[in-house]
Amino acid sequence: MSQENMPTKFYNVGLSYKKADVKVRGAFSVTKENQKLLLIDAKEKGIDGVFVLSTCNRTEITGFAKHPFELISLLIKYSNGNVEDFIEVSNVYKNKDAVNHLFNIATGLDSQILGDYEIVGQLKESFKLAKKMGTTNAYLERLMNLVLQASKDVKNNTKLSSGTTSVAYAAIQYIVENVENHSDKRILIYGLGEIGKNTCKNVLNYTSNKQITLINRTHKTALGFVNEHPEVKAGDFKDLETEIHNTDILIVATGASIPTVTKEHLKENQEIQILDLSMPENVDVSVKEISGVTLINVDELSKITDKTIEIRIGEIPAAEKIIEKYREEFNEWISLRKFVPAVNALKESLLAIQHDEIDFHSKKIKDFNIEHAEFVTSRMIQKITTQFVKHLKDEETSVDQSISVISKMFNIKELSLNEND
């Protein structure tokens, strides 16, 4: 069979965190502008139904093609990746597997952190862009609708996304559960990288504490954060030791290769909780020698996140059961779509018979009520076609054979089903 005559199939091609490291994923990343160009190119090539998803964890093209390389070549053309690297780290899903893959992504089953739903917003944006560019079709519309419904159902009715999976949030959970009157304590956050910012936001979101101070080596960075969050105070780096002496909870999120907080920063008999979120550790373990100091490191906080992951793993069967419900609904819709050409052809044939018979009787019978005859025969046609659909949907029906018989009976051009694997 020539390439031109090959039927199109539904594919998902791309790469993710599972096989590709950060450098490779970066090479295959597709910018927003290039996503638009890719979709225009796909449309001009006659690809019916396609969208692009490009995030820090994955880059994928989903759509219809005669061969997956049609989609792969587009990905390579509009990214900085090459064929050799793609072959090493890629995934290619076809038909039902491609459908399953989308359900798994949207429900958090395929996320780098099990149950993480950040991908859902990115998925919506990618599809929204494809719709705007005119590269979606009825199949993709229906599939995406059900995929997002499944995602919402899993999030609302399972514990797949419950609990703590980030160190920044685990730190707050530890404080809430282990520090009495935590909302009245003075909190100092030292270091304002990504973890420091997230930790500060979590303190604001999950406690009612109003005594939060930030210190960062670059004071300008701290001031910028405080401008966005006026509930927080920015301290000066030169006053670090004084600020530590006056705090009840110290959260260290610096990114140094050696300790940034040592015994010299603390005063004797100081009652203080220190949470070291840095890796490697940025609080010298010798601070434990000071009476009143409690030091918690990343490993201890990770026990909280490990417990969460255990709970989430236990929720996988419940999530899969929900997905199966929406997948069956999609398959039902696909089945009905497959029957449409045959049912429409039968209906057209019956309508032609109806027209001929009414025309014949109107000429033969005086005062023949054409309107009444059309009403009665149209109802009969509707019932016959409905019965035909029920017959085709029956599990014991040989669909191809049934359509072949109907085609011969009513002189309909032979129809066939092109079913996805």
330 falls within a domain: no
Task: Order the strands of the 9-16 sheet from edge to edge.
Answer: 50-54, 58-65, 9-16, 91-94
Give CA–CA dist 126/323, Å, rounded: 21
419 falls within a domain: no
Mean pLDDT of 168-186: 89
CATH number at residue 64: 3.30.460.30
156 plus 194 within the same structural domain: no
**The pairing of beta strand 91-94 with beta strand 233-234:** unpaired
* Active site (annotated) includes residue 200: no
- Segment 354-400, tens digit of pLDDT: 999 999 999 889 889 999 999 999 999 999 988 988 887 777 777 77
- The whole-number pLDDT of residue 117 equals 79
11 plus 151 within the same structural domain: yes
pLDDT at 7 over 70: no
- Segment 206-239, tens digit of pLDDT: 888 889 999 999 999 999 999 999 999 999 999 9
Describe the crossing of helices 167-178 and 194-206 by its angle, rounded to 10 degrees: 40
Look at residue 271 and give its three-state secondary structure: coil
Higher pLDDT residue, 182 or 341? 182
**Exposed e or buried b per residue across 102-123, where buried means at least 16 C-beta atoms within 10 angstroms of its C-beta:** bbbbbbbbbbebbbbbebbebb
327 falls within a domain: no
Give CA–CA dist 6/20, Å, rounded: 32
DSSP 106-166: HTTTTSSSTT--HHHHHHHHHHHHHHHTT---HHHHHHHHHHHHHHHHHHHHSSTT-S--S
- The whole-number pLDDT of residue 189 equals 96
Quote the strand ranges of 246-385, DSSP E: 249-252, 272-276, 293-296
Up-side HSE of residue 218: CA atoms within 13 Å toward CB?
7
Cα-Cα-Cα-Cα dihedral sign, residues 179, 181, 182, 184: negative
12 plus 93 within the same structural domain: yes
Q: Domain ends where: 134, 160, 186?
A: 160
CATH number at residue 177: 3.40.50.720
279 plus 382 within the same structural domain: no
378 plus 297 within the same structural domain: no
55 plus 137 within the same structural domain: yes
Higher pLDDT residue, 405 or 122? 122
Give CA–CA dist 57/17, Å, rounded: 5
Of 86-90, 250-254, 333-337, 345-349, the least confident: 333-337
Give CA–CA dist 44/66, Å, rounded: 15
Q: Of 6, 40, 56, 409, which is the active-site residue?
A: 56
62 plus 8 within the same structural domain: yes
30 plus 8 within the same structural domain: yes
∠ Cα 48 142 139 (to 5°): 25
∠ Cα 276 278 279 (to 5°): 130
Query: Is cis: bond before 280, omega within 30 of 0?
Result: yes
125 plus 245 within the same structural domain: no
329 falls within a domain: no
Q: Domain ends where: 160, 175, 197?
A: 160
332 falls within a domain: no
Ramachandran category for residue 46: left, alpha or beta (phi over 0 → left; psi -120 to 50 → alpha): left
At residue 51, what are phi and psi to the nearest 5 degrees?
-145, 160
Q: Structural domain tally of the chain?
A: 3
383 falls within a domain: yes
155 plus 174 within the same structural domain: no
- Segment 18-72, tens digit of pLDDT: 999 878 998 999 999 999 999 999 999 999 899 999 988 899 999 999 999 999 9
**The pairing of beta strand 91-94 with beta strand 58-65:** unpaired
pTM of the model: 0.65
324 falls within a domain: no
Which domain covers residue 273, as residue numbers? 167-306
7 falls within a domain: yes
Q: Domain ends where: 306, 322, 350?
A: 306
379 plus 255 within the same structural domain: no
Mean pLDDT of 5-11: 76
Look at residue 183 and give its three-state secondary structure: helix
Cα-Cα-Cα-Cα dihedral sign, residues 204, 206, 211, 214: negative
